[in-house]
Amino acid sequence: MTHHPTQSPQFFLTAPSPCPYIDGQYERKVFTHLVGDKAPEMNDLLTQGGFRRSQNIAYRPACETCRGCVSVRILANEFEPSRNMKRVLRRNADLVGAVHDAEPTTEQYSLFRTYLDARHRKGGMSDMTVLDYAMMVEDTHVDTKVIEYRRRGPDTFITGRGEGELIAVALTDRMSDGLSMVYSFYVPDQEDRSLGSFLILDHIARARAAGLPHVYLGYWVAGSRKMAYKIRFGPQEHLGPRGWERHAEPVA
């Protein structure tokens, strides 16, 4: 008998652990590995099905008693910035993002470490070493890029890159139907820039310029202060039992 290798991924389930978003809840995740030539195609299908990527693993919540995590994607072509978002864009007009291959640098890690220590000292990533960071960036089998944001310089119009201090970094996957923001971080002491919002706005602009309809933001949890910012970027779709459905317009 001839045996043909299966193309179907194998899925695994994690043990319960305390939920980082809802007190008193326990989370479980279903996950699979993204490896080989089919990884980009599989990442597209799984992301469209509510999965997120971390290194070469795609995962999604599989909690027994809670369905609080909702996958969110922005409809980039229909997006119109609010007055506050326009102010954010103006405040960051001096920044430019340069796209690089998924290769870690010591400068990136230094900013990553500063960001974690200031914003997520007690989070699950707080003890990541430089090697952990390197794996987060380069352990990918899909089309992943690092976007580095710096201030514009006199040669930016030629080089497409900024100069000086590294202000922000985004780790981003390009898929067939959009951009997926895997992880981003930035200098924590320039709160007036609203850099987290700016990075999302910049990705919306990049998706539109590339003819991609969506920007995937990961999960939103109603009532979670950590996730509240995501709902402001509309129009957007949420993944539910009937598939992707348009969510009510946010208040500007």
Model confidence pLDDT, tens digit, residues 238-249: 999 999 999 876
CA-CA distance, 184 to 136, in Å (whole number)?
A: 12
The SS3 call for residue 186 is strand
Helix ranges restricted to H, 97-248: 106-119, 130-138, 156-159, 195-209
Gyration radius (Cα) of the chain, Å: 19
CA-CA distance, 180 to 174, in Å (whole number)?
A: 6
Beta bridge partners of 31: 12, 59
Task: Determine the pLDDT at residue 141.
Answer: 96
Task: Determine the pLDDT at residue 7.
Answer: 63
Return the domain boundaries, the chain: 12-68, 73-246
Residues 6+ apart with CB under 8 A from 99: 145, 146, 147
pTM of the predicted model as reported, rounded to 2 decimal places: 0.91
CA-CA distance, 92 to 86, in Å (whole number)?
A: 10
Both tokens assigned to 63: 């909690």
Task: Determine the pLDDT at residue 250.
Answer: 54
Task: Determine the pLDDT at residue 94.
Answer: 96
Out of 3.30.930.10, 3.40.630.30, 3.60.21.10, 3.60.110.10, select the CATH number for domain 73-246: 3.40.630.30
> Which residues, given as ranges, of the chain have pLDDT below 50?
1-6, 251-252
